[in-house]
Structure 1
């Protein structure tokens, strides 16, 4: 029977498969294609230079043993690296690396095309030129579960985060999408999950990255003709955390590459954690196939914290900073700053600073001055409660009437306007808006928004309602 490149490689694979983890075999050996056999030199094609570097770094010994077993002591391995060239040249080039002799790997002569004279290491998180495949997690250890206080507004998201941290890739929460408005703790929770996983599973590769940075890395990879390297780098991550995934809106190339990375990770039991300022149903300019994958796992909303949670957050912050403050002042700050956690903590820091710098005692009067200035100088995030109050006051009805089941035309229109402005001025999901305005579903909110748009262009009186309420909300 004639010996072919395929038969030699198949025998090597049998040996390799018996000696490494199934997941590693699937990731690093299944994509390899045997190309030709010339004497005792076997040529194999690998998808990228990063792929080749990883093989040489981690599997050179097993490659040497398997190949020597098949072709004898003079065995050599020739890598053919499939290069992506944006100028249309799809021809691969050959790198001759005698894997059977490790010392020769250190002083390799590589025939690299002129348009790629300075290949950089493909790990986007290390300094180019330094041969280092260690991947830093980019996590902030200060963001932990211990200082992410639980309340009704975040219980589902926090519990799901703890479940994922205990068993990454092994729960039905994959992907875990955490969404909500500005300053509610999405980034904090995402980091906390990653920090907990690193603590429990130090051998796992965890990576946190913003969608903006991911996009920039992808653009750089395309410019340098190493899109494959970019993909393979992200495919080796065990837990990928992408912050502000809504930033991918309208970026079709980045969405496409993320789609392939997501599929690979999900199929291989790796954990994906995403954060967004809106629910998948409300995301604009994101491909449908990607949105459908966001919905595979769990979408957990972070809502504005209630009064009790706000008080707990403030007390925890003061305890961590070693500051004592009377309960009446804490309650006052918590009652008057409702929009988000970031503003809440900002107000208490300002209060402590004013007291310290001006050597004034922290009193309720000082708290009033600081909170008033802080709220005034901070762009107010209009809440759904506030919108309902403005609309019900405008139509001279109470909020219970606005939320009631009645089908009276003027009440229905008022309710539809409240839903319309809630969608326009808040980052709450359609389901959340419906739930807070009369326990309706997201389809009702969608219908309300369309109705308001239609009536605004056909009914002069209704158009005036919209204009008047818009002015009241912008005051």
Structure 2
């Protein structure tokens, strides 16, 4: 039988609408292992103490690559706080939505009312901090976070990067966010991947006990799908849909086909320089015009060099062609950029992570 998806909820404070919350993202459905144990412990403590006299960790800052459980934990905190105290003022916002709402407030000449909406919040959860673009937006974000923390209100932030690697944070904000608990979710090891698969299978079986997968198939999935928890969940969902359609037990051959489809879906599509310019612009908060301009300020030069490096790595374009597409630059400029990034990479593991994250964004 087909089970309809559960509608998402939303937090709202004083008429201010938050971003959607997924009802499946609870502490019960989160699978704990070595790579996420600290983040999970921090999140559960925050959910239990957020409304008390002394919040456990404030702020709580969780960072990791895509699909490893940051958003899941933020949603779980929101649901748990609301379960314990239905009248608690909880607001979950992506950085994009925060920015959009603030720009709207500026447009209607009402920035003070925007500030006011945050005054009564008990718990503020901000997701995807790295997308907090725009000087005015960043200043407003700083102001709101500082006033909430000064008032003893709980703040939780999730990002793809640690606070000291989010370029757009000023020093004061950076040190403020590092004062609580900063915790990273690492990649899922084989044991945790297997546990995630077992949990997602159990969830499907709770609705439909006749669906089953052999240990051999779960082991095969855990061995081959190593990117993220979302990928593992996608595999179980696909196998369940296949089983509903065929109504015969899933064999390793069928599982192999599903894995192949998923892995092919993860293989990079043909990436264009236009895609690189778009992602670099969004990631670093600089305009495409600045990237192509003659500006030599570090805030523009570094993203431009990263873009040229990625263009050489991910496209078949020649150095002169890359130079032409990056504002009619000489091929020696491109060569210098590539050598500069390669030189930085050897002693900078964070840069390696950042480049991997940009590659992932480009391959989606």
Whole-angstrom CA distance in 2 between matches of 1:140 and 1:350: 20
Q: Is the 8 A contact 1:180 1:278 kept in 2?
A: yes
Are 1:350 and 2:234 an aligned pair?
Answer: no
Q: Is the 8 A contact 2:26 2:79 kept in 1?
A: yes
**2:346 matches 1:416:** yes
Root-mean-square deviation over aligned CA pairs? 2.9
- Which one of the candidate residues 292, 301, 315 is aligned to 2:184? 301
Q: Name the residue aligned to 2:253.
A: 365
Distance apart, 1:257 and its partner CA: 0.8
Query: 2:162 is matched with which residue: 279, 284, 307?
Result: 279
Aligned residue in 1 for 2:356:
426
Q: Which residue does 2:63 correspond to in 1?
A: 179
Tell me how far 1:252 sits from its aligned partner: 1.1
C-alpha distance in structure 1 between counterparts of 2:198 and 2:170, whole Å? 43
1:235 match: secondary structure: coil
2:225 corresponding residue in structure 1: 337
Tell me, what secondary structure is at the counterpart of 2:109?
coil
Shift of 1:201: 2.1
Partner of 1:154: 36
CA distance in 1, matches of 2:26, 2:354: 33
Query: Aligned partners of 2:234, 2:22: CA distance in 1, in Å?
Result: 20
Partner Cα distance (1:162, 1:316) in 2: 19
Helix, strand or coil at the partner of 2:33:
coil
Q: CA deviation at 1:139?
A: 3.4
Counterpart CA distance in 1 for 2:347 and 2:242 is 42
Residues 205-246 of structure 1: CA distance to partner in whole angstroms, max 9, x if unpaired? Answer: 001111101101100111111111100111211101111111
Q: Which of 1 and 2 has greater Rg?
A: 1
Q: Distance in 2 between matches of 1:293 and 1:189?
A: 21
In 1, Cα distance between equivalents of 2:36 and 2:14: 37
Q: TM-score, normalised by structure 2?
A: 0.68
- TM-superposed CA distance for 1:351, in Å, is 2.1
Deviation at 1:359, TM superposition (A): 4.2
The structure-2 alpha-carbon separation of the partners of 1:254 and 1:267, relative to structure 1 and needing over 3 Å to count, comes to: same
CA deviation string 1:90-140 (max 9, x = no partner): xxxxxxxxxxxxxxxxxxxxxxxxxxxxxxxxxxx88xxxxx946676533
Q: Distance in 1 between matches of 2:347 and 2:135?
A: 34
CA distance, structure 1, for counterparts of residue 173 and residue 121 of structure 2? 19
Cα distance between partner residues in 2 of 1:223 and 1:357: 51
Moved >4 Å (runs of 4+): 132-138, 417-421
Deviation at 1:147, TM superposition (A): 0.2
Cα deviation, residue 152, structure 1 = 0.6
The answer to whether the aligner puts 1:265 opposite 2:195 as a matched pair is no
1:407-466 CA deviation, whole Å, 9 max, x = no partner?
xxxxxx9x92894873353349xxxxxxxxxxxxxxxxxxxxxxxxxxxxxxxxxxxxxx
Q: Which runs of 5+ in 1 are unaligned?
A: 1-124, 127-131, 381-412, 429-469
Deviation of the 1:288 alpha carbon = 2.2
Equivalent residues of 1:139, 1:207 under 8 A apart: no
Cα distance change on mapping 1:186 and 1:421 into 2, 3 Å: closer
Report the alpha carbon displacement of residue 258 of structure 1 after superposing the two structures with TM: 1.1
**How many Å apart are 1:199 and its aligned residue?**
1.2
1:226 to 110, 113, 119: 110
Q: Tell me the secondary structure at the aligned position of residue 21 of structure 2.
A: coil
Q: Cα distance, 1:259 vs. partner?
A: 1.1
Answer yes or no: is 1:324 the counterpart of 2:212. yes
SS at match of 1:240: strand
Contact 2:49-2:56 within 8 A present in 1 as well = no
Partner of 2:88: 204
**Distance across 2 between alignment mates of 1:417 and 1:270:** 38
**TM-score scaled by structure 1?**
0.53
**Cα distance change on mapping 1:343 and 1:245 into 2, 3 Å:** same
CA displacement, residues 53-77 of structure 1 (integer Å, 9 cap, x when unaligned) = xxxxxxxxxxxxxxxxxxxxxxxxx
**2: CA distance, partners of 1:362 / 1:180:** 33
CA 1:235–1:425: 2 relative to 1, 3 Å: same
Higher relative CO (CA 8 A, sep ≥ 6), structure 1 or 2?
Answer: 2
**Count of aligned pairs:** 270
